A and B are shown apart, each in its own frame.
Chain A
Amino acid sequence: MEEVLVVKNIKKTFKLSKKQQKLQGSNETYKVAVNDLSFNLYKGEIYGLLGPNGAGKTTTLRIIATLIKADSGDVFVNGYDIKKEADKIRKCIGFLTSDLKLEGFFTPNYLYDFFSDLHNVDKDIARTRKERLFKKFGIDKFAEVKVENLSSGMKQKVSLVISIVHDPEIIIFDEPTNGLDVLTARLVMDFLLELKNEGKTILLSTHIFSLVERICDRVGIIINGKMVCSDKLEELIADKSLEDVFFDIYKNEMEGKDL
């Protein structure tokens, strides 16, 4: 199978300011967010990252999406080295995370065209794609409403659609169904499967076990910045539910630490 994403021993340490130390209630000046983490993605699969709050999921995804740099380790996307060819990587990934915001002053319609332009998408292709996606997510009725006036669910859908204006090969979604109602979450889930069927590779992080159970081919569990388990979904849930598997692994990990 073709490896489209290789993450090798990446490490990311954040320096904590005085204010952050106070907020976290510790005197440590550093926070190791990602610690020697490795995994890979094969073409056409959906890989789910699970982990408790603060485990380092978002940090990992931000590193892969070229927003921040790992202190050490390697990342290859479609064979491109993230240290040397970040611009090429940006062309072939679509990244969605809650701290990438859209300018509230503009309408979904304007923003879609703007990002299509930045991604150099052909005008005609962009238009048909926009129509299809807007319709699919029910954005068409709100296409001319300023983003700041949209409901948070609608904003999330617009963000999602805009993150894939360029029809990327690799899609990286950080908690894509966070804050969506059941119906919309279902819509997103079906959409992800649809993308998979088109041959896209998808990496997502989530806290929702049912989502992982339904659509993921493989699962990685991150605890304290470490990948403690990366396996095929079928094998993980052979005799227990995913939630139970997760709890067992988590308990093991924490006991190991205490001892």
Chain B
Amino acid sequence: MKNILTIMKKEFARFFKDKRMVFAVLILPGLLIFLVYSFLGTNITKQLGEDTTKTATVYLVEPVPVGIEDGLNNLPNMEIKKASENDKIDDLLDKIKNKKIDIVMQFTTASDNKPDISIYYNSSNTTSMNAYTTINAMLEAMQHVELFHVNANSNTIYDVVDQKEAFGSIFGMFLPFLIITLMFSSCMSIAPESIAGEKDRGTIATLLVTPIKRSELAIGKVLSLSVLAMLCALSSFIGTVLSLPRLINQEIVDSSMKFEFSYQLTDYLLLLLIIVSTLLVLIGLISVISSYAKSVKEATTLIAPLMILTMVIGILSMFNTNSGSKNVGLYFIPIFNSLLAMGDIFAFNIALGPMLITIFSNLVYASLIIYLVTIMFKSEKVMFGR
């Protein structure tokens, strides 16, 4: 135990006493991300990965002006329903918010005797948005400007989006991928140097003639590298958060003036646990490759496929985040499970089971990997093979 701490202390000293290293690994990534995202200010499309051909449920609150109903019935992918007398408008709006239904249309007569059409929709629901666009196009074709007012009351909020949810689903889709990418590149920037580099330079061999156990050396290395990678990922994360206002779809930021950042402390804690357990797995994997490689260069080359795999898994998970309940088995798949779990946290969709499965399975994988690193450190072929 004491030896593990001694090794960790040395690894930290190696890192923090090196100003260039601190700048390159801790400060630069966050700074770059902040600058790039701030200047690009891209709109992240909300529709990413959602089904666009789903049938929209449209409720009409009577009385419905003649002509309009016929027009609606001719639109594709739309199921038109009449609201019964018992349906209160507020209940219907709640259903839109919860994505149970997609559109509510209400018709009243305005002071100038033109019909006043209110179309309620939910901008965080793709089906709703598509239907809203289609209906608007239809009314346009009917030259509604002369015939009726559409969503004309400036005091009414027609977009009944749940801000928290809309924000969360974008976060849930996009951020996990970003975080895993940042974590991976953090691990990449320190582990090969610390393991393959030391092997190559013959400095690990000097440790191997001391009474320290190979397992202590392996654990000390992996743990200290994880902490450093964590700090590095944190820097990237701060950069991301600071640039978020420009990163996220402008519309949402505008309409979320009243929106408060409503993640709870427990959300952050869970996120931290997920991130830490994932980092252990990632650092472990990269350590295994770095132990096997004979030089930093070889390690980097060998890690590239793993990186591509991680990216692919990350992209796959983006299409998986918003699809409601998921198979619990998926939370046993390393890396993929972390992406799903983070997605759930950001989308305010936390179920304890999958979270615990993710954290514990990651810890189990990490232990196995560290054990593998230990075996490799014991192997003469790995440590001294020419």
Which residues of A does B touch, CB under 8 Å?
Answer: 17, 20, 65-69, 87, 90-91, 93, 95, 99-106, 110, 114-115, 117-120, 163
Q: Does B312 contact A (CB under 8 A)?
A: no
Interface string of B11-23 (1 = CB under 8 A from A): 0011001100000
- Closest Cβ of chain A: how far from B171's Cβ, in Å? 40
**Given known A68-B380, A68-B384, A114-B6, contact A102–B211 (CB-CB < 8 A):** no
**B13 near A110: Cβ-Cβ < 8 Å:** yes
Chain B contacts for A115, CB-based, 8 A: 210
Q: What 0/1 pattern do residues 202 to 233 of B give for CB contact below 8 A with A? A: 11011111111100000000000000000000
A69 to B381: give the CA distance in the assembly, Å.
10
In the complex, B114 has a CB within 8 A of chain A: no
Interchain residue pairs with CB less than 8 A apart (19): A17-B386, A65-B209, A66-B209, A68-B380, A91-B211, A101-B201, A101-B202, A101-B205, A103-B198, A105-B17, A106-B13, A106-B14, A110-B13, A114-B10, A117-B2, A117-B6, A118-B6, A118-B207, A120-B211
Please name all residues of chain A whose beta carbon is closer than 8 Å to the beta carbon of B386 when the two chains form the complex. Answer: 17, 20
Chain B 352-386 interface residues, beta-carbon cutoff 8 Å to A: 380, 384, 386
Are B210 and A100 interface neighbours, CB within 8 A? no
What are the 9 closest A-B residue pairs judged by CB atoms, nearest first?
A: A101-B202, A100-B206, A118-B210, A117-B6, A90-B211, A103-B203, A95-B209, A91-B211, A68-B380
Q: Give, as a whole number of angstroms, the nearest-CB distance from A20 to chain B.
A: 6
CB distance from A114 to the nearest CB of B (A): 6
Indicate if the CB atoms of B380 and A118 lie closer than 8 Å: no
Interface majority SS (helix, strand, loop, mixed), chain B: helix
Pick the contact of B205: A67, A90, A117 (CB < 8 A): A67
Minimal beta-carbon separation of A104 from chain B (angstroms): 8
Query: Which chain B residues border A104 with CB–CB below 8 Å?
Result: 201
B211-A105 in contact (CB<8A) = no
- Cβ of B3 within 8 Å of any chain A Cβ, yes or no, is yes
Q: What's the least CB distance linking B385 to chain A, in Å?
A: 8
Tell whether A102 pairs with B380 under 8 Å between CB atoms, given A90-B211, A118-B6.
no
Q: Which of B13, B202, B205, B211 counts the most chain A CB atoms within 10 A?
A: B211
Asked if A99 and B211 sit within 8 Å, CB to CB, the answer is: no
State A118–B198 Cα separation when bound (angstroms). 17
| In contact, A119 and B211 (Cβ under 8 angstroms) | yes
A99 touches B205 (CB 8 A): yes
Complex Cα distance, B213 from A184, in Å, reads 34
- Tell me which of B3, B18, B201, B384 contacts A67 (CB under 8 A): B384
Contacts of A120 in B (CB 8 A): 2, 211
CB neighbours of A100 from chain B (8 A)? 202, 205-206, 209
Q: Are A105 and B202 in contact (CB under 8 A)?
A: no
Are the C-beta atoms of B205 and A69 separated by less than 8 Å? no
Chain B residue at minimal CB-CB distance from A100: B206
Task: Let me know if A69 and B380 touch, CB within 8 A.
Answer: yes
Tell me which of A68, A99, A117 contacts B202 (CB under 8 A).
Answer: A99
Q: How distant is the Cα of A69 from the Cα of B18 in the complex, in angstroms? A: 37
Given contacts A68-B380, A99-B202, contact A118 B209 (CB under 8 A): no
For A17, list chain B residues within 8 Å (CB).
Answer: 386
Bound-state CA distance A19–B107 (Å) is 84
B346 to chain A, nearest CB (A): 40
Contact A105 B18 (CB under 8 A): yes
Residues of B within 8 Å of A102, CB to CB, are: 203, 206
State how many angstroms separate the Cβ of B132 from the closest Cβ of chain A: 61
A95 to B211, CA, bound (A): 12
Contacting pair A101 B203 (CB below 8 A) = yes
Across the interface, which residues of A come within 8 angstroms of B211, CB to CB?
A: 87, 90-91, 118-120
Query: How many angstroms between the C-alpha atoms of A186 and B58 in the bound complex?
Result: 97
Q: Given contact pairs A66-B209, A105-B17, enumerate 14 new A-B contacts (beta carbons under 8 Å).
A: A68-B384, A87-B211, A90-B210, A99-B202, A100-B202, A100-B205, A100-B206, A101-B205, A102-B203, A102-B206, A110-B13, A118-B3, A118-B6, A118-B211
Max chain B Cβ within 10 angstroms of own Cβ: one of A20, A67, A118, A120 = A118
Q: Are B6 and A67 in contact (CB under 8 A)?
A: no
- Bound Cα distance from A222 to B318, whole angstroms: 65
In the bound assembly, the distance between CA atoms of A234 and B2 in angstroms comes to 48
- By a CB distance below 8 angstroms, the chain A residues around B207 are 118
A164 to chain B: closest CB distance in Å? 12
Neighbouring A residues of B3 by C-beta, 8 Å: 118
Smallest CB separation, B178 vs chain A (Å): 32
Is the Cβ of B14 less than 8 Å from the Cβ of A118?
no
Question: Would you give the 0/1 interface string for B162-174, flagging 1 where the beta carbon is closer than 8 Å to chain A?
Answer: 0000000000000
| A67 touching B206, Cβ below 8 Å | no
Report how far A213 CA is from B210 CA in the complex, Å.
Answer: 31
How far is A115 from B18 in the complex, measured between Cα atoms in Å?
Answer: 21
Complex CA gap A217/B48 in Å reads 81
Binary A-proximity of B25-67 (CB < 8 A = 1, otherwise 0): 0000000000000000000000000000000000000000000
Q: Write out the residue numbers on chain A whose beta carbons fall within 8 Å of the beta carbon of B206.
A: 100-102
Q: Given A68-B384, A101-B203 in contact, is the A119-B210 Cβ separation under 8 Å?
A: yes
User: How far apart are A9's CB and chain B's nearest CB, in angstroms?
Assistant: 19
